[in-house]
Structure 1
Amino acid sequence: MSTDHSAHLPADPPDPDLQRARIVAARALHWERARRLVAWLLALWLATSFCTVFFARDLAHLSVFGWPLSFYLAAQGASLIYLAIIGAYAWRMRMLDRDFARRLGEAA
């Protein structure tokens, strides 16, 4: 009766260089995704700020309750978009941070 003793042997210790490479790769991926997210949200912020001012004259002839539409876009519309940008950043970064933590757990 033969028994396989290899099943009782401890697993080989993880290679520290391989772990370090996985951690560096996870950090690089996380940083790349975070920078891309920030770039897109800053572009949206810039477009919102620029378009509100740039098109104010064109929208001034339209009125809502006696006030020009450009006033409403600047006073409420841009503020709501800024809040949406903050919410999108927090939501997406939470997802990216969880993915990063999972990748670090796999590397350890």
Structure 2
Amino acid sequence: MTNQEKAKAYWKENIRYVLILLAIWFLVSYGAGILFKDTLNQVKVGGFKLGFWFAQQGSMYVFVVLIFVYVRLMNKLDKKYGYDE
């Protein structure tokens, strides 16, 4: 595999990871906080309705977790294509 082919494959896989993680974040922040809030509000967490919790706190927690997931995925991807240090 040439360097150019390796770079294209690397970025294709990287963009795929980014799109998947952004879709997850969108579903959690927009979906759980806005679209499905009425259904989620039937459950309470710490005295607050679950839809409210996702809108206020949950999406931020998921975003931070997704950052760590992205770092781990990118470290594996770097090793796979020989871009690790």
TM range (shorter): 0.7 to 0.9
Select which of 32, 41, 44 maps to 2:12: 32
Which one has more relative contact order, counting CA pairs under 8 Å at least 6 apart? Answer: 1
Residues 68 and 92 of structure 1: CA distance in aligned 2, closer, same or farther (over 3 Å): same
CA displacement 1:49-68 (0-9 Å, x = unmatched): 22121111233243334322
Whether 1:70 and 2:51 are equivalent positions in the alignment is: yes
Kindly report which structure 2 residues correspond to 1:1-108, keeping only aligned pairs within 5 A, or say none.
Answer: 22-51=2-31, 52-101=33-82
Identity across matched positions, percent: 27
Larger radius of gyration: 1
- Say if 1:23 and 1:55 are closer, same or farther in 2 by CA, change over 3 A: same
How many pairs align?
82
Q: In the superposition, relative to structure 1, how do residues 45 and 66 fare at CA in structure 2: closer, same or farther (>3 Å)?
A: closer
User: If the length of structure 1 is used for normalisation, what is the TM-score?
Assistant: 0.64
Deviations 1:32-78 (A, max 9, x none): 11011111111111111221211112332433343222222223322
Show structure 2 runs of 5+ residues with no match: none
* TM-score, normalised via structure 2 length: 0.78
Aligned to 1:11: none
The 4+ residue runs of structure 1 with deviation greater than 6 A are none
Using the alignment, how far apart are the partners of 1:66 and 1:85 within structure 2? 26
- Distance in structure 2 (CA, Å) of the matches to 1:30 and 1:90: 15
